[in-house]
Amino acid sequence: MDQKLFLGIDVSTTAAKSIAMNPAGETVAESSVSLPSFEKPHKGWAEQSPEDWFSALSESLRSLSQKINPSHVAGVGLTGQMLGLVSLGSDNTPLRPAILWNDQRSEAECEELTAEIGPEKLAQVCGSKLLPGMVLPKLRWLKRHEPEVWERTRSILLPKDYLAFRLTGEKATDVTDASGVGLLDIEQRTWSADLVAHSSVPDSWLPRVLESHEIVGKLTQEAAEMTSLPPGIPVTIGAGDQPAQAYGAGLRSAGESVLTVGTSGVYFQVLDAYTPDEEGRLHTFCYAAPDQWCAMGVMLSAAGSFQWLRDELFPEKTFAELDAAAAAVPPLSEGLLFAPYLSGERHPHTDAQVRGGFIGIDRRHGMGHFARAVMEGVSYGLRELIELLKEQGSAPESIALSGGGAVKSPVWQQILADVIGLPLVVASRSEGAALGAAMLAAKSHGHEIRNQISYVESQLETDARSQQAYEDGFARWVELYPVLREISRK
């Protein structure tokens, strides 16, 4: 019997999660440690301490090691939140809190860099518009607004890559995470010398780029003591959370797709060729499998909108109570609409300034209406992402549903199926990105593990009557953005 174990580590904005997987693809143990909420020192800002990440990661692995035989661990794979900027000084310690994926401060720098480089070139080389969440505009912002940090910076890393450095002492990134920097030639899967030269970012700051299954280094003695694992374990660089989530869900072939409803919402589809949208309305990034790419549309506040609703408006209620109240309300929430632009928006509206709202509030509207309106508004926004892929001729026949938000709510699952108008395959497992990281670690050792999308809890068909109602609701909902855009700017 093969006693090997492969660990997958996922550090998001909310928690550090670790799992242990055997060569059959079965999860045998897991552990999760919560992170402090990210800081919002100014409007549109989002920052987090890299030391908090490593502390939570270490605690999670110590807990996991008590549930397994650590000597059986053959490899460790990493994943985590994408697009965060960690600036390191000459002593390799962070010079400031990390600037996160949902930070919107660098909108002016995006416009400036886009004008300098050209939108067509950016879309073709980087596979996307430059967005405030990406790393390059954050670096331009840093140079302009915190020159003392810029001058002291000697290297930059993304969140999971900082953790790889803390575990191994080696600096590297993978092709999926590097895709969100704004300096990668996505088709060639390497840094673009032209864009790096133009950006004024020293090339010495950039980590080497690996494929997602490649080993970055081995667990150091210091890291071993922090994590209760044996030193010398090979560490696989892994992938950003969304590509790792898709990899863990078994996506390997072109056209396979997954909808993830976490803090943010992501529609993800595998591509066999690099075919970026000419207007950069989606991310076209490298995938975690060599010679494959992916189209990815992101909305910034998905399940995060529902978390906000509970925390700020109904703090005394549980999520289950909100779910039950939403179930008692008919489709369209009796005219109440919700626009989920709590932190601006990324796709399809690249807009850091727009803010959301409830529209059409009536005296008859209660908790259930507000809860259902949030579910419907987020679902409409996710449908917008899928519509972009349909425009490019990539219409899926069904979609796998993953993530923590909607997956736990049968009400929200059915709303998504009816709004999108396609059957949804609901994943029966919750390991998500951590599972993908463990699979990539296994691949480093010659074990090709694929948990098919067939590991399903249920398959939801659309309800014809509700689907027709939501066609009308979607047509009304899409009219909100232009109005809210103007109000937000005033």
Three-state secondary structure readout of the chain: CCCCEEEEEEECCCEEEEEEECCCCCEEEEEEEECCCCECCCCCCCEECHHHHHHHHHHHHHHHHCCCCHHHEEEEEEEECCCCEEEECCCCCECCCEECCCCCCCHHHHHHHHHHHCHHHHHHHHCCCCCCCCHHHHHHHHHHHCHHHHHHCCEEECHHHHHHHHHHCCCEEEHHHHCCCCCEECCCCEECHHHHHHHCCCHHHCCEEECCCCEEEECCHHHHHHHCCCCCCEEEEEEEHHHHHHHHCCCCCCCCEEEEECCCEEEEEEECCCCCCCCCCCEEEECCCCCCEEEEEEECCCHHHHHHHHHHHCCCCCHHHHHHHHHCCCCCHHHCEEECCECEECCCCCECCCCCEEECCCCCCCHHHHHHHHHHHHHHHHHHHHHHHHHCCCCCCCEEEECCCHHHCHHHHHHHHHHHCCCEEEECCCCCHHHHHHHHHHHHCCCCCCCCCCCEEEEECCCHHHHHHHHHHHHHHCCHHHHHHHHHHC
d(CA 453, CA 256): 9
Closest CA relative to residue 132, chosen from 166, 109, 162: 109
The CA-atom distances, in angstroms, between 93 and each of 31, 154, 162, 216, 316 are 27, 10, 10, 19, 41
Q: CA 61, CA 286: separation in Å to the nearest integer? A: 29
Nearest Cα residue to 483 out of 364, 366, 341, 387: 341
Q: In the annotation, is 277 catalytic?
A: no
Which of the following is catalytic: 241, 277, 323, 351? 241
The answer to whether 86 and 157 are in contact (CB under 8 A) is yes
7 Cβ contact partners less than 8 Å away, ≥ 6 residues apart: 18, 19, 20, 21, 61, 64, 73, 75, 76, 77, 438, 441
- Which residues are marked as active site? 241
